[in-house]
């Protein structure tokens, strides 16, 4: 018997669960489902987004609905249209083997009469945003006087968005006898007030610690000078070739400006904020979901309810005014048990906010240093090398090979590799050669075990290791693995930096023989580990300098090579993902999907809008003719041209 069967779910739900590929219940599901199935009760469940809440209330709800009765029996309120649609689709998926269950989504910005018509046809479950629901009640288009279940999803978000009045009115219209299930990531006073006013002895379940962040998210901060914020963002993107991120800014203006700069600089980015029309926002979200946008730059309000799996990073380009908002931001990553990283780019004057956030999320931040140009080049090159190693050769290239061989016949393997890498990286290297290191020095503020310790590089050796996040390591688990395998002390392994297919770490020079000897003879799940001494020292690189050194570099003013003219393919809507490095590949496993990755095209030949390079060519983009130019690999060489 699998764990879902033990929860008491019906055969038809178990069949749907099998189709969904859920192997075992998440914590909130394990806790909530048996209680909700057992009896009609009120419940307050404290759980972050991404923990499987929809199924936690969706499964028992579907089981309890009387499919032979077409009256509205349940109302699910959720903060945004986006979330509303997601829940609706989730319920449809879960109930696919249940005959006669109808679910209708009700939200603003779409035809109210059509929604009313759908409900009239007999919808047992309505999923609604509070504003539109209130509107429908006022116009007499919906009758919730006989509902048995009311679910408030992301209650804290709904209240944050100013829906208190609507929620109170809606709940007052519904029968007192119904069961209310309230799901919330945090428990601010307003949520507690709703619970007190409208619920009867609710059972309380908590997933993780109250108000605390998700344990699958690690928190990092990068201390920079204010003028370097944007440059730091770019470097973070460059040093994480598979980044798939939401970047948070404080205002609509900053959001738009950062997105525009990123697009101009060759990144696959787009803005999401309230000044966009609904259709524009839908377009952006569709592209983001489809992984055609790699970095979504968003305001807090616009990003509410973003529920996209496999987001690798949340970047706080600026910290929110309300520290509590940080929790909502970081909850966009690390979903469904996957690992995620929440990054804060912070200036000295904001540093104290980090401690306040730590208190709220009850987790520690790791201080990291903005990667140096050398480190980025190394990461990118190794990423490319890994991609070359992993790429499946398409039989379709067969016919072209004789001519290509003829051109390259005189090159040795070594020369070929050198030239191939140079095609990709010459401009990239030139760009970063010119650019100084960024990390703001704040001795005393740094923490000793930060994974990028500020200890002097003198006497340290940096290593490259051929295992990474796809072997299920993050920097902490890799550090533990290395300490154990090498029998080293707690502080002997540092500056651990885990990429998808490889990693870096440092030890003091005295351990280097031991490291090379032991690690090169270790196997990990049948695979030989390979460790090499890296050229870089890591954690800010060899160029880590003092304030004087840095200031002479100028405020990020000397940006690298201007892209070749034709490469501004992002024009117009501008979601360019022509940075080949950018194919999303983390957790979601799209990296393993066949992709037309890394051609070594010149960006000059690139047709406008290469967004497709990012990610799943194999998923939903079949209408796109594969183009050599869209690999984006060469764009890696394309560095920002100005600050
Ligand atoms: P939610 O918190 O409901 O938005 O769920 C977050 C993500 O986790 C969604 O993509 C779900 O499909 C997925 N999910 C929910 N429950 C499970 C489970 N038991 N096993 C694996 N994935 C799940």
**CB proximity list for 363: less than 8 A, separation 6 or greater:** 212, 213, 215, 217, 219
Residue 186 has what pLDDT? 80
58 Cα nearest atom in ligand 1: 3
Q: What is the β-pairing status of strands 179-184 and 460-465?
A: unpaired
Arithmetic mean of pLDDT, 6-22: 94
Percent of the chain topping pLDDT 70: 77
Residue 524 has what pLDDT? 82
Q: Name the 3-class secondary structure at 611.
A: helix
Written as six digits, the tokens of 614 are: 């990012």
In order of 108, 567, 639, the CA distances from 432 in angstroms are: 48, 20, 9
Higher per-residue pLDDT: 329 or 436: 329
Arithmetic mean of pLDDT, 354-367: 87
Q: Is 287 in the pocket of ligand 1 (CB under 6 A)?
A: no
Residue 555 has what pLDDT? 28
Residue 499 has what pLDDT? 85
Distance 50 CA to ligand 1 centre (A): 6
- 217-372+581-600: what CATH class? alpha beta
Residue 477 has what pLDDT? 86
**CB proximity list for 524: less than 8 A, separation 6 or greater:** 467, 471
Q: Is 54 in the pocket of ligand 1 (CB under 6 A)?
A: yes
CB-CB neighbours of 602 under 10 Å: 15
- As a whole number of angstroms, the distance between CA 439 and CA 141 comes to 58
Q: Is 22 in the pocket of ligand 1 (CB under 6 A)?
A: yes
Tell which residue, 458, 464, 519, 470, has the closest CA to residue 496: 464
90 Cα nearest atom in ligand 1: 12
Distance 22 CA to ligand 1 centre (A): 8
pLDDT band at 629 (very low <50, low <70, confident <90, very high): very low
pLDDT at 618 over 60: no
SS3 assignment for 128-179: ECHHHHHHHHHCCCCCCCCCCEEEECCHHHHHHCCCHHHHHHHHHHCCCCCE
Q: Is 51 in the pocket of ligand 1 (CB under 6 A)?
A: yes
- As a whole number of angstroms, the distance between CA 223 and CA 369 comes to 7
Tell which one of 54, 154, 157, 588 to mutate to probe ligand 1, the residue whose CB is within 8 A of the most ligand atoms.
Answer: 54
Examine domains 3-206 and 217-372+581-600 and report if their fold is the same.
yes
Residue 581 has what pLDDT? 34
Q: Is 213 in the pocket of ligand 1 (CB under 6 A)?
A: no
CB-CB neighbours of 105 under 10 Å: 25
pLDDT at 593 over 80: no
* Ligand 1, atom 11: closest residue by C-alpha: 52
Q: How far from the centroid of its chain's Cα atoms is residue 37's Cα? A: 33
Distance 335 CA to ligand 1 centre (A): 8
Residue 138 has what pLDDT? 95
Distance 52 CA to ligand 1 centre (A): 4
Residue 449 has what pLDDT? 37
**CB proximity list for 114: less than 8 A, separation 6 or greater:** none
Inter-axis angle of helices 229-238 and 252-264, nearest 10: 50
* Ligand 1, atom 14: closest residue by C-alpha: 52
Radius of gyration of the chain (CA): 26
* Ligand 1, atom 12: closest residue by C-alpha: 52
pLDDT band at 446 (very low <50, low <70, confident <90, very high): very low
Higher per-residue pLDDT: 259 or 547: 259
- As a whole number of angstroms, the distance between CA 164 and CA 158 comes to 7
Residue 606 has what pLDDT? 25
- As a whole number of angstroms, the distance between CA 13 and CA 93 comes to 10
Tell which one of 17, 26, 53, 214 to mutate to probe ligand 1, the residue whose CB is within 8 A of the most ligand atoms.
Answer: 26
* Element holding 528 (H helix, E strand): strand 527-528
Arithmetic mean of pLDDT, 473-484: 88
Q: Is 48 in the pocket of ligand 1 (CB under 6 A)?
A: no
- Beta strand spans in 161-299 (E): 179-184, 203-206, 217-223, 245-248, 269-272, 295-298
Residue 303 has what pLDDT? 84
Q: Is 26 in the pocket of ligand 1 (CB under 6 A)?
A: yes
* Ligand 1, atom 16: closest residue by C-alpha: 52
Tell which one of 25, 52, 185, 308 to mutate to probe ligand 1, the residue whose CB is within 8 A of the most ligand atoms.
Answer: 52
Residue 305 has what pLDDT? 64
User: Token pair 């024009």 is at which residue?
Assistant: 571
47 Cα nearest atom in ligand 1: 2
Q: Is 25 in the pocket of ligand 1 (CB under 6 A)?
A: yes
CB-CB neighbours of 475 under 10 Å: 23
Sheet holding 313-316, edge to edge: 269-272, 295-298, 245-248, 313-316, 340-346, 217-223, 365-368
Residue 533 has what pLDDT? 87
Residue 337 has what pLDDT? 65
Residue 214 has what pLDDT? 58
Written as six digits, the tokens of 437 are: 């290191």
Distance 538 CA to ligand 1 centre (A): 37
Write down the mean pLDDT value for the chain. 78
- 455-572+609-621: what CATH class? alpha beta
Written as six digits, the tokens of 225 are: 């000078």
pLDDT at 192 over 50: yes
* Predicted confidence (pLDDT) per residue in 332-351, tens digit: 888 766 788 999 999 988 88
Q: Which range, 98-107, 216-225, 539-548, has the best average confidence (pLDDT)?
A: 98-107
Q: Is 55 in the pocket of ligand 1 (CB under 6 A)?
A: yes
* Predicted confidence (pLDDT) per residue in 162-177, tens digit: 899 999 999 999 999 9
Q: Name the 3-class secondary structure at 212.
A: coil
Arithmetic mean of pLDDT, 322-341: 82
Residue 263 has what pLDDT? 94
- As a whole number of angstroms, the distance between CA 581 and CA 481 comes to 28
* Ligand 1, atom 21: closest residue by C-alpha: 22
* Predicted confidence (pLDDT) per residue in 504-528, tens digit: 999 988 899 889 989 988 888 878 8
Distance 90 CA to ligand 1 centre (A): 9
* Ligand 1, atom 10: closest residue by C-alpha: 309
Arithmetic mean of pLDDT, 183-189: 84
Distance 33 CA to ligand 1 centre (A): 14
307 Cα nearest atom in ligand 1: 4
Q: Give residue limits of the domains in the chain.
A: 3-206, 217-372+581-600, 374-433, 455-572+609-621
Tell which residue, 475, 232, 217, 187, has the closest CA to residue 329: 217
Q: Is 52 in the pocket of ligand 1 (CB under 6 A)?
A: yes
Distance 215 CA to ligand 1 centre (A): 16
* Ligand 1, atom 19: closest residue by C-alpha: 25
pLDDT at 429 over 80: no
**CB proximity list for 213: less than 8 A, separation 6 or greater:** 48, 219, 327, 330, 331, 342, 361, 362, 363
Residue 215 has what pLDDT? 66
- As a whole number of angstroms, the distance between CA 488 and CA 475 comes to 16
* Ligand 1, atom 15: closest residue by C-alpha: 52
Fold classification of 3-206 is Rossmann fold (3.40.50)
Residue 537 has what pLDDT? 63
Q: Is 53 in the pocket of ligand 1 (CB under 6 A)?
A: yes
Residue 557 has what pLDDT? 27
309 Cα nearest atom in ligand 1: 10
Residue 457 has what pLDDT? 52
pLDDT at 567 over 50: no
Helices (H), 319-443: 325-330, 351-361, 373-390, 401-408, 413-434
24 Cα nearest atom in ligand 1: 19
Tell which one of 336, 338, 588 to mutate to probe ligand 1, the residue whose CB is within 8 A of the most ligand atoms.
Answer: 336
pLDDT at 274 over 60: yes
Q: Is 50 in the pocket of ligand 1 (CB under 6 A)?
A: yes
Arithmetic mean of pLDDT, 300-316: 85
* Predicted confidence (pLDDT) per residue in 228-260, tens digit: 999 999 999 998 988 999 999 999 999 999 999
pLDDT at 300 over 60: yes
């Amino acid at each position: 018997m699998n764990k879902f069967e033990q929860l008491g779910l019906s055969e038809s739900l178990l069949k749907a669960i099998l189709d969904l590929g859920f192997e075992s219940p998440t914590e909130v599901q394990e806790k909530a489902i048996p209680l909700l199935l057992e009896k009609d009760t009120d419940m307050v469940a404290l759980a972050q987004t991404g923990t499987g809440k929809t199924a936690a209330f969706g499964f028992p709800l579907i089981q309890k609905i009387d499919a032979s009765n077409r009256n509205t029996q349940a109302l699910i309120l959720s903060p945004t249209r986006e979330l509303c649609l997601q829940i609706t689709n989730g319920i449809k998926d879960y109930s696919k083997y249940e005959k006669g269950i109808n679910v209708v989504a009700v939200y603003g910005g779409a035809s109210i009469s059509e929604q009313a018509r759908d409900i009239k046809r007999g919808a047992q479950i309505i999923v609604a945003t509070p504003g539109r629901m209130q509107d429908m009640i006022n116009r007499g288009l919906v009758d919730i006087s006989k509902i048995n279940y009311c679910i408030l999803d992301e209650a804290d978000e709904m209240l944050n968005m100013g829906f208190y009045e609507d929620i109170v009115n809606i709940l007052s219209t519904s029968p007192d006898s119904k069961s209310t299930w309230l799901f919330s990531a945090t428990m601010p006073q307003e949520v507690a007030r709703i619970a007190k006013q409208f619920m009867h002895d609710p059972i309380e379940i908590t997933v993780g610690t109250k108000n605390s962040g998700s344990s699958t998210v690690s928190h990092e901060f990068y201390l920079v000078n204010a003028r370097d914020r944007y440059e730091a963002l770019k470097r973070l993107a460059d040093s994480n070739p598979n980044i798939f991120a939401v970047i948070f800014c404080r205002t609509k203006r900053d959001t738009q400006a950062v997105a525009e700069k990123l697009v101009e600089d060759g990144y696959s980015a787009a803005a999401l904020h309230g000044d966009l029309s609904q259709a524009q926002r839908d377009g952006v979200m569709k592209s983001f979901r489809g992984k055609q946008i790699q970095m979504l730059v968003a305001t807090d309000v616009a990003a509410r309810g973003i529920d996209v799996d496999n987001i690798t990073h949340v970047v706080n380009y600026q910290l929110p005014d309300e520290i509590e908002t940080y929790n909502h931001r970081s909850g966009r990553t690390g979903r469904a048990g996957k690992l995620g990283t929440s990054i804060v780019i912070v200036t000295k004057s904001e540093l104290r906010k980090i401690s306040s956030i730590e208190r709220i999320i009850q987790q520690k931040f790791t201080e990291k240093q903005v990667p140096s140009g050398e480190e980025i080049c190394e990461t990118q090159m190794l990423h490319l090398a890994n991609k070359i190693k992993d790429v499946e050769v398409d039989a379709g290239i067969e016919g072209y090979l004789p001519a290509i061989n003829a051109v390259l016949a005189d090159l040795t393997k070594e020369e070929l590799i050198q030239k191939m890498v140079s095609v990709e990286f010459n401009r990239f290297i030139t760009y970063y050669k010119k650019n100084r290191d960024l990390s703001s020095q704040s001795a005393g503020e740094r923490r000793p075990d930060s994974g990028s310790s500020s200890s002097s590089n003198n006497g340290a050796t940096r290593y490259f290791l051929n295992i990474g996040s796809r072997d299920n390591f993050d920097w902490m688990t890799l550090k533990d693995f290395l300490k154990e395998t090498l029998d080293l002390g707690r502080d002997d392994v540092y500056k651990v930096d885990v990429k998808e297919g490889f990693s870096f770490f440092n030890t003091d020079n005295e351990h280097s023989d031991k490291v090379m000897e032991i690690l090169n003879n270790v196997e990990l799940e049948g695979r030989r580990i390979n460790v090499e001494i890296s050229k870089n020292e890591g954690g800010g690189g060899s160029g880590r300098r003092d304030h004087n050194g840095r200031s002479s570099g100028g405020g990020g003013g000397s940006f690298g090579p201007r892209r070749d003219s034709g490469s501004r393919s992002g024009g117009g809507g501008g979601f360019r993902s022509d940075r080949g490095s950018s194919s999303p590949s983390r957790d979601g496993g799209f990296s393993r999907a066949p992709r037309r990755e890394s051609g070594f095209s010149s960006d000059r030949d690139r047709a406008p809008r290469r967004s497709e390079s990012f990610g799943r060519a194999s998923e939903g983009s079949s209408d796109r003719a594969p183009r050599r130019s869209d690999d984006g690999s060469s764009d890696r060489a394309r560095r920002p041209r100005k600050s």
